[in-house]
Amino acid sequence: MTILDCVEVWVNSLVGVFESAGTVIYFKRTIDDRPKQSCALHFQQHFVDVDFIVWDSGKAELAVKQKAGLATQEHFAGLADPVALSAVLARLMTIIRSTNPRIDAR
């Protein structure tokens, strides 16, 4: 299982939780034979947009844009390690839950 598979499984396992709380989710994964495979995840809520792009190399970009205009961007490397990937996915979940208290990921 690749890092992209892991992200896709994570998204698919939580899509019902996000959508029931009013979060719009877009997920796209490269399907051709590009040398650098990737997946892109976009969460859209009333007060925030979150973009998370992951490459099979283990690198990722996380961008958070508040509707009030504040934007932050973080770069990650080494996410091929499951512990590192789970920490970033947990951070992503914290961001999403902090802007939408209706999300209850048990």
pLDDT by 10s per residue, the chain, length 106? 899 999 999 999 999 888 888 889 999 999 878 788 999 999 998 888 999 999 999 999 999 998 878 899 999 999 999 999 999 999 988 888 877 666 664 4
The reply to whether 105 falls in a domain is: no
- Check residue 103 and give its pLDDT: 64
24-29: strand order across its sheet: 24-29, 38-44, 48-55, 60-66, 71-76
Instruction: Quickly count: other Cβ atoms within 10 Å of residue 91's Cβ.
Output: 14
pTM here?
0.86
Query: Which domain range does residue 13 map to?
Result: 3-99
10 falls within a domain = yes
Instruction: Give me the pLDDT at residue 75, please.
Output: 96
Q: How far apart are CA 47 and CA 1, in angstroms?
A: 34
pLDDT at 63: 95
Give how many domains the chain has, as a whole number.
1
Largest CA distance in the chain: 40
Distance of CA 105 to CAs 44, 87, 95, 96, Å? 17, 15, 13, 11
pLDDT at 95: 83
Whether 104 maps to a domain, the answer reads no
Is 106 within a domain?
Answer: no
